[in-house]
Amino acid sequence: MTPVANPLTSSDIDQLCINTIRTLSMDAVQQAKSGHPGTPMALAPLVYTIWNRVMRFDPKDPIWPNRDRFVLSNGHASMLLWSVLHLTRTRAVNSDYETLGHPSVTLDDIRRFRQLDSKAPGHPEYHWVSGVETTSGPLGQGVATSVGMAIAQKWLASRYNRPDFPIFDYRIYAVCGDGCMMEGIAAESASLAGHLGLNNLCWIYDNNHITIEGHTSIAFSEDVALRFLAYHWNVLRVGDANDLERIGHSLERARKETDSPTLIILDSHIGYGAPHKQDTAAAHGEPLGDDEVRLAKRAYGWPEDAKFMVPDGVYEHFEDGIGVRGGNARREWMRLFEAYRAQYPELAAAIEQMQRRELPAGWDRNLPVFPADPKGIAGRDASGKTLNVLAQNIPWFLGGSADLGPSNKTLLTYEGAGDFEADNPGGKNFHFGIREHSMAAIVNGLALSKVRPYGASFFIFSDYARPAIRLSAVMELPAIFVFTHDAMGDGEDGPTHQPVEHLASMRAIPGLVTLRPGDANEVVEAYRYILQLRHQPAVLVLSRQPLPTLDRTKYTPASGVARGAYVLADAGGGDPEVILIASGSEVTLAVDAHEELRAEGIRSRVVSMPSWDIFEHQAREYRDSVLPPAVTARVAIEQASTFGWERYIGTAGRVIGMTTFGASAPLKELPRKFGFEPGRLAAVARDLLGKR
Ligand SMILES: Cc1ncc(C[n+]2csc(CCOP(=O)(O)OP(=O)(O)O)c2C)c(N)n1
Ligand SMILES: [Mg+2]
């Protein structure tokens, strides 16, 4: 052993396990010729301690509902996770939530780190590798998501635990680095976690003073401990990342904390044990090089030429630690749950439905039906009424807004809904504060915990939430984002509050369902569609201003929303001459233009298109029936960027949309300025047909 790596551990087998994590990580990065070896080398003792000594996690059933959660927010250090998932022989789970016989991560996957189809990808990917609790990599997202997990545990405990039945009492551990600490989303999330007193949450901050560009002193000098104390966190410090006893002790203190989340600041040395690279930025994100790997192995007392070696006794030691502890905890919980089921069959059934992302029977009963009304109702108001029915039908459907509840109309106002607060963790109205980014990540954390969440704000501020919305799509989570004030309905607030490119931006996210309903009944149908999604997030884009409620005896039913686009009004007698395509507030405008054209004997069709994404997933036959390829005279109208509409209007069509930002003016003046008027639409249609 060289002086660099003087082990301070209690036993040789602990050290052997830790060094296995280190060397697997170094070998994998070296073999891949890419990756991040330094932090796994430094944090191996921490991750070893959390997994093998503390966490209640059963590798044989990695989705057991009351398991402790482990989040690696510094996702670039993914080899930490692949190593422990492999060494604990964590089982794979399929998309039907069945535990399979084979391991989640094999040694071969680790040999193929970062290669196509390997279960050891560059960053932790939920949905791809069993045992990963959330996708991480964009720094700060993991810790923010962990706050959602902690909130979910509190809510579930409050709603489902009964005297002598602690069905939900799990804890959440999240590891993060300097990058996460610098990101704003972590600050938003820590602030809320402290406010809510989430004592089930423990973040461990890898205080290694190194990021990609060098020492953190070039850009980061605040006192993190003081900052977290000010957030009402319990702050602990462990001065040596190799000191297992102190790490264990601090985790134990976190567990005993009654009022606050805990931050453990862990002083570590990136690239620990590598004689030339320890404590340098070079250890962060590139292979150490064959010579340095050999020297580091020598420092660990490891055979220098051994690669991907798991020494005798290592698997067994994990089996004796987390395997036995986690297995016992799960079996005990299963027994507890059976007794709970006998006493509280309805609650037990609800918990099981939640785990499978099913909805309770009668989930859509009493949904509102809006009568035809030319004055109409705002999208946000129709949404508020619908949400209040759904939240009563689905006990675990909950959410809130980033301080815009009264504007977004997302408040649940029925008796017993309640506000989620530290002293009322069973409340269903969440107050995220003005923290859109964190809100979206928390919504992801809630969805990962199997409750059904929504978060809300103005559509313009989806910009502040987009990175987490994108991750909800990457993770295939049924998260719901309700965005009101969808276009220029904001009037006087002006261009800073008028979304233009946001629809295009949301539509561009693969797997995300974006829906912009055209009247109150389309809002209801949009919710009906969204609630049935199990593996897709949805963004609901709603108007601030009243939209006429269409007469569905005259026009086709709003249930067409479930197909993404549908023929709302038609000329009859075969294919139309011209097709008018619209979403949201422009749908009635298209109907008005259609009536105007009809009076002139021009046969037009109105297609209401609330969702491109849903429409794209319909059979070609259906799509061609709505937009017959032979009809090339098409006009799209939407109060948003024209970007992308070419795909539906083709080269012969026109689009009335936005090519500039909006303007500050009373609402009634804006449609005139930007050309969103039925007369203009009819004129463009006539022009296309050469009938001026
Ligand atoms: C939001 C975001 N910005 C930038 C990056 C690119 N990036 C990956 S790791 C890293 C440095 C992280 O430093 P630190 O968290 O201290 O990790 P360490 O090098 O100590 O492991 C950066 C900038 C990222 N992954 N996410
Ligand atoms: Mg660092």
Query: 186 C-alpha vs ligand 2 centroid, how far in Å?
Result: 15
DSSP character for 323?
I
- 267 CA to centre of ligand 2 in angstroms: 10
In this prediction, residue 4 carries a pLDDT of 44
d(CA 160, CA 383): 28
On the CB side of 47, CA atoms within 13 Å amount to 32
Distance from the first to the final alpha carbon of the chain: 90
Distance CA 463, CA 518 (A): 23
Q: What is the spatial distance between Cα 376 and Cα 207, in angstroms, rounded to a whole number? A: 57
Find out whether 351 and 488 touch, Cβ atoms under 8 Å. no
Ligand nearest to the CA of 184: 1
> Model confidence over 103-128: pLDDT tens digits?
999 999 999 999 999 999 999 999 99
CA distance 477 to 95: 12
C-alpha dihedral sign at 47, 49, 53, 54 = negative
The per-residue DSSP string of 123-187 comes to S--TTTSTT--S---STTHHHHHHHHHHHHHHHHHHHH-BTTB------EEEEE-HHHHHSHHHH
Does residue 9 register a pLDDT over 70?
Answer: no
Q: What pLDDT score was predicted for residue 6?
A: 46
The pLDDT assigned to 154 comes to 98
Per-residue pLDDT at 166: 98
DSSP 53: I
- For the CA of 283, the closest atom of ligand 1 is 19
Q: How many CB atoms lie within 10 A of CB 278?
A: 21
- Take residue 460 and report the two structure tokens written for it: 């313009």
Mean pLDDT of the chain: 96
Give, using CA atoms, the residue closest to atom 12 of ligand 1.
179
Please say whether the dihedral angle defined by the alpha carbons of residues 432, 434, 436 and 438, taken in this order, is positive or negative: negative
Q: Which residue has the tokens 């990101």?
A: 183
Q: How confident is the model at residue 97, as a pLDDT?
A: 83
The ligand 1 atom nearest the CA atom of 176: 15
Closest atom of ligand 1 to CA, residue 38: 21
8 Å CB contact between 40 and 123: no
Let me know how long the chain is: 692
Res 430: pLDDT: 98
Task: Report the phi/psi class of residue 690: left, alpha or beta, with left for phi > 0 and alpha for psi in -120 to 50.
Answer: left
Residue pLDDT, tens place only, 303-342: 999 999 999 999 999 999 999 999 999 999 999 999 999 9
Query: In 435-489, at which residue ranges do the beta strands (DSSP E only) sit?
Result: 452-458, 480-484
Out of 145, 212, 220, 224, give the residue to mutate to test ligand 1, the one with the largest number of ligand atoms within 8 Å of its CB. Answer: 212
Please pick, among 183, 436, 476, 525, the residue that the annotation labels catalytic: 436
3-state secondary structure 476-487: CCCCEEEEECCC
| Distance set, CA 222 to CA 174, 209, 225, 226 (Å) | 21, 12, 9, 9
Best CA proximity match to 520, nearest among 551, 480, 476, 487: 551
| Ligand 1 atom with minimal separation from the 180 CA | 15
Query: Which three-class secondary structure state does DSSP give residue 337?
Result: helix
Q: In whole angstroms, what is the distance from residue 121 CA to residue 78 CA?
A: 8
pLDDT at 439: 99
Determine the Cα–Cα distance for residues 125 and 551; give it in Å rounded to an integer: 47
Q: Which two tokens stand for residue 365?
A: 């009963």
Distance CA 561, CA 615 (A): 9
Is the pLDDT score of 10 beyond 70?
A: no
Nearest to 133, CA basis, from 83, 198, 190, 65: 65
By most ligand atoms within 8 Å of CB, the mutation choice from 39, 136, 139 for ligand 1 is 139
Average pLDDT of the residues in 531-541:
98
Sign of the C-alpha dihedral computed for residues 679, 685, 686 and 690 taken in this order: positive
CA pair distance 357, 536, nearest whole angstrom: 12
Q: Which ligand is nearest to the CA of 37?
A: 1
> In which element (H, E) is residue 245 found?
helix 244-256
CA of 302 to the centre of ligand 2 (A): 26
For the stretch 583-633, pLDDT in tens is: 999 999 999 999 999 999 999 999 999 999 999 999 999 999 999 999 999
Task: Tell whether the model's pLDDT for residue 1 goes beyond 70.
Answer: no
Residue nearest to atom 25 of ligand 1 (CA): 138
Please name which of 145, 221, 153, 218 lies closest in space to residue 188, comparing C-alpha atoms.
145
Q: Residue 3 pLDDT > 50, yes or no?
A: no
pLDDT at 287: 97
DSSP string, 214-239: EEGGGT--S-HHHHHHHTT-EEEEES
Question: How does pLDDT run across 447-490, given as a tens digit for each residue?
Answer: 999 999 999 999 999 999 999 999 999 999 999 999 999 998 77
**Whether the Cβ atoms of residue 126 and residue 134 lie closer than 8 Å to each other:** yes
- Return d(Cα 47, Cα 196) in angstroms, integer: 27
Which DSSP category does 495 fall into? Answer: T
Q: How does DSSP assign 508-523, residue by residue?
A: TSTT-EEE--SSHHHH
Q: Are strands 99-103 and 91-93 parallel, antiparallel or unpaired?
A: antiparallel
Contact 99, 63 (CB under 8 A): yes
For atom 11 of ligand 1, the residue with the nearest CA is 211
Residues 420-447, mean pLDDT to the nearest whole number = 98
pLDDT of residue 574: 85
Q: Give the pairing type, strands 397-401 and 373-378.
A: unpaired
Q: How far apart are CA 67 and CA 167, in angstroms?
A: 11
pLDDT digits (tens, 9 = 90+) for 642-657: 999 999 999 999 999 9
One-letter amino acid identity for 102? Answer: H
Geometric angle at alpha carbon 122, from 119 and 124, rounded to 5°: 70
Question: Is residue 7 very low, low, confident or very high in pLDDT (cuts 50, 70, 90)?
Answer: very low
Give yes or no for residue 5 having a pLDDT over 90.
no
Distance 282 CA to ligand 2 centre (A): 12
Amino acid in position 264: I
Average of per-residue pLDDT across 505-517 = 98
**Encoding tokens for residue 554?**
């005259």
Q: What is the pLDDT of residue 668?
A: 87
Q: CA 404: distance to chain centroid?
A: 20
For residue 207, how far is its CA from the centre of ligand 1 (angstroms)?
Answer: 13
Q: Are 567 and 556 in contact (CB under 8 A)?
A: yes
Counting ligands in written order, which one lies closest to the CA of residue 181?
1
Ligand sitting nearest the alpha carbon of 35 = 1
Which atom of ligand 1 approaches the CA of 75 most closely? 25
Residues 510-522 have a mean pLDDT of 98
Whether pLDDT at 273 is above 90: yes
Q: Are 539 and 481 in contact (CB under 8 A)?
A: yes
Q: For this structure, is 332 an active site residue?
A: no
- Look at residue 225 and tell me whether its pLDDT is greater than 80: yes
Which ligand number lies closest to the CA of residue 283?
Answer: 1
Please say whether the beta carbons of 174 and 445 come within 8 A: no
Using CB distances shorter than 6 Å, the residues near ligand 1 are 39, 74, 76-77, 137-139, 177-180, 183, 206, 208, 210-212, 270, 284
Given pLDDT bands bounded at 50, 70 and 90, which one contains residue 572? confident
**Residues bordering ligand 2, an ion, CB closer than 5 Å:** 177-178, 208, 210
Tokens of 5: 């790596």
- For the residues 47-67, what does the mean pLDDT come to? 98
CA 205 – ligand 1 centroid, Å: 13
Measured in angstroms, how far is the CA atom of residue 166 from the centroid of ligand 2? 38
CB atoms near residue 417 (< 10 Å) = 16
Q: Does residue 507 sit in helix, strand or coil? A: helix
Q: Which atom of ligand 1 is nearest to the CA of 137?
A: 25
179 C-alpha to center of ligand 1: Å?
5
